[in-house]
Amino acid sequence: MGIWNRFSQKVVRGWNPVSALHETEAIDRIFWAHWVPTDDDVTRESTSATYSFYLGTVLAVLFSILCLTGLMQMLHYVPSVDRAYWSVKDLQFIIPFGWFIRGLHRTSAYLMVIFAFLHMSRTFYTSAFKKGRKSNTNGWINWLTGILLLVLTPAMAYTGYILPWDQVGYWGATIGTNIMKSFPVIGDGMRQFVIGGTELSQDFLTRIYAVHVVVLPLLMTLFISYHFWRNKKDGGMACDDRMQQDEVARDRTSGSDKSGIDTVDTPPERPLMFMKRLLWVSLATAAFAVLLALLISFPLSAPANPVMAENPAKAPWFLLWMQELVASTTVTIGQYRINGGFVGGVVIPGLLLLSLALCPFFDNSPPEATGVWFHPSRLRQNIIFTAIALAIILLIFFTYFCRGPNWVFYWPWETWPHVH
């Protein structure tokens, strides 16, 4: 018996299952396992790695890393326009391993944006968002919660990006709040509400700080918890409907009567095994984030200079597609010119989100498609989704590599002319 087993038997579980069937009681017996779903709650396929790739688990782990590293940074960061930059600089260069904490926070944040996107794609390609036929499967509720989380994630990353009050953060904030201002009629009021005045100053930084460290993490925690709970209640990763039919067939052949003795020949999925798997995924995610944090450095740009933007002034990579949109979607209708900030920054992303949110209600593929990767009946949906996703990814790469000073197009191998 290995050290881990001995330790876990004495300290973690204090109880030793004697058989596979006995082990299903783990959730009642072990505090640490009480939230893990059993075979009774969710379908077996839900715990399959090749179905879900554990993307949600990865995200939850990244979020915990972010909370921890965020807390560590809060002990050093000063949310003041005069000192924010210098406190981040100290964090980077003076505080022991400050660079590592900051790096880990950044990598985890960026990974979280990437994985949120992957997680959403997984759900789309398996059409796990569909409302099941059973009354207790509500895939669409979790899909909507997921969309909320998909918005919250970059919102966290964006507000965090502003906090160092360096050039990229400051101008990112300028552009972001002006996109808000480009909203017709209520735009001005909204911007004033967010920045607490008419110019970016201390009030704005304080607000962004509060939003970044309190409001958004709280909302995140709330919705993540709900997302988990809902998933368990829905019977797992939306393969329930299909599995239900299998189960009925299985029950009929296995001769299981409702007498309390389980005569099904396959043993139920063991919660402890599932716990172990979760642990492995968590450790692997953490290790990956740490490794990236060691390999990538995240330089600070110059301190914020309100009269001179960097040229080119680029948004964080996950917003670059929107930056390209706001730069090229100013349209003229008759004598009116509509600011690209509104079209590319509000209308297009809003429409994309809206169509995502409406997916469950307009997807009329058969129930057999629920929980199946790339089901042939959903070919059209999958192609449209892939096209939009690819367009966004391509726009990000295009803007990252091909936009030079004054937003002029350059090939990636061309050198940029020197400007001011």
Partner 1 sequence: MQAFGRNQISVPRSGRALQQVSGFGFQNFSKKISSVTYVTYTGCSVMAYIHGKLGIKVTTNIHQAYRRTSMKTIKRRDLLKMFSFIAVFGGIAGGAAYAFVKSLFPKVLYEPPKRFKVGAVYDYSDGPNFVAEHRMFVIKEGDKYHSLSSICTHLGCNVTFIKLSEPRTVTVRGKEIEEKWEFHCACHGSKFYGDGTPYTGPAPSPLPAYAMAISPDDQQLVIDKSREVDSNYRLTIQV
Q: Does 371 bind partner 1 (CB under 8 A)?
A: no
> CA-based Rg of the chain, rounded to a whole angstrom?
25
Of 43, 52, 182, 282, the residue at the interface with partner 1 (CB under 8 A) is 182
Angle at 143 between CA 142 and CA 148, to 5 degrees: 95
Which among 378, 132, 373, 151 has a CA at the least distance from the CA of 231?
132
Cβ atoms of 340 and 193 within 8 Å: the answer is: no
Q: Does 350 bind partner 1 (CB under 8 A)?
A: no
Cα 137 to chain centroid distance, Å, stands at 23
Select 324 or 363, whichever has its Cβ closest to partner 1.
324
Q: Does 327 bind partner 1 (CB under 8 A)?
A: yes
What's the CA gap between 73 and 79, in Å, rounded? 11
Shortest distance, CB of residue 63 to partner 1, whole angstroms? 26
Burial code of 263-284, b = ≥16 C-beta within 10 A, e = fewer?
Answer: eeeeeebbbbebbeebeebbee
Q: Which residues pair with 272 in a beta bridge?
A: none
Going through 144-183 in order, the beta strands assigned E by DSSP cover none
What's the CA gap between 106 and 109, in Å, rounded? 5
Q: Does 24 bind partner 1 (CB under 8 A)?
A: yes
Q: Does 184 bind partner 1 (CB under 8 A)?
A: no
Cβ atoms of 182 and 126 within 8 Å: the answer is: no
Shortest distance, CB of residue 217 to partner 1, whole angstroms? 20
Shortest distance, CB of residue 341 to partner 1, whole angstroms? 5
Q: Does 417 bind partner 1 (CB under 8 A)?
A: no
Selected range binding partner 1 among 101-109, 115-123, 334-342, 363-371, rule: CB under 8 A: 334-342
Q: Which residues pair with 331 in a beta bridge?
A: 338
Select 9 or 406, whichever has its Cβ closest to partner 1.
406
Q: Does 20 bind partner 1 (CB under 8 A)?
A: no
Shortest distance, CB of residue 171 to partner 1, whole angstroms? 7
Going through 274-363 in order, the beta strands assigned E by DSSP cover 331-333, 336-338
Cβ atoms of 212 and 159 within 8 Å: the answer is: yes
Q: Does 81 bind partner 1 (CB under 8 A)?
A: no
What's the CA gap between 335 and 337, in Å, rounded? 7
Shortest distance, CB of residue 82 to partner 1, whole angstroms? 14
What's the CA gap between 159 and 153, in Å, rounded? 10
Q: Does 179 bind partner 1 (CB under 8 A)?
A: yes
Shortest distance, CB of residue 78 to partner 1, whole angstroms? 20
Q: Which token pair is 139?
A: 């895939």
Binding mask 388-407 for partner 1 (x = CB under 8 A): -----------------xxx
Q: Does 126 bind partner 1 (CB under 8 A)?
A: no
Q: Which amino acid type is present at position 172?
A: G
Selected range binding partner 1 among 55-63, 74-82, 106-114, 308-316, rule: CB under 8 A: 308-316
Select 8 or 192, whichever has its Cβ closest to partner 1.
192
Site for partner 1 in 218-237 (CB under 8 A): 233
Q: 65 in helix, strand or coil?
A: helix
Q: Does 326 bind partner 1 (CB under 8 A)?
A: yes
Select 262 or 368, whichever has its Cβ closest to partner 1.
262
Q: Does 312 bind partner 1 (CB under 8 A)?
A: yes
Q: Does 303 bind partner 1 (CB under 8 A)?
A: no
Shortest distance, CB of residue 33 to partner 1, whole angstroms? 16
Of 78, 215, 309, 389, the residue at the interface with partner 1 (CB under 8 A) is 309
What's the CA gap between 367 and 372, in Å, rounded? 10
Q: Does 339 bind partner 1 (CB under 8 A)?
A: yes
Residue 105: Cβ-neighbour burial (10 angstroms; 0-12, 13-18, 19+): buried
Going through 105-237 in order, the beta strands assigned E by DSSP cover none
Selected range binding partner 1 among 1-9, 42-50, 100-108, 261-269, rule: CB under 8 A: 261-269
Q: Does 341 bind partner 1 (CB under 8 A)?
A: yes
Select 67 or 348, whichever has its Cβ closest to partner 1.
348
Q: How many other CB atoms sit within 10 Å of the CB of residue 262?
A: 12
Q: Which residues bind partner 1 (CB under 8 A)?
A: 24, 39-40, 136, 171, 174-175, 177-179, 181-182, 192-193, 196-199, 201, 203, 233, 251, 256, 258-262, 264, 268, 306-313, 323, 326-330, 337-341, 405-408, 419-420
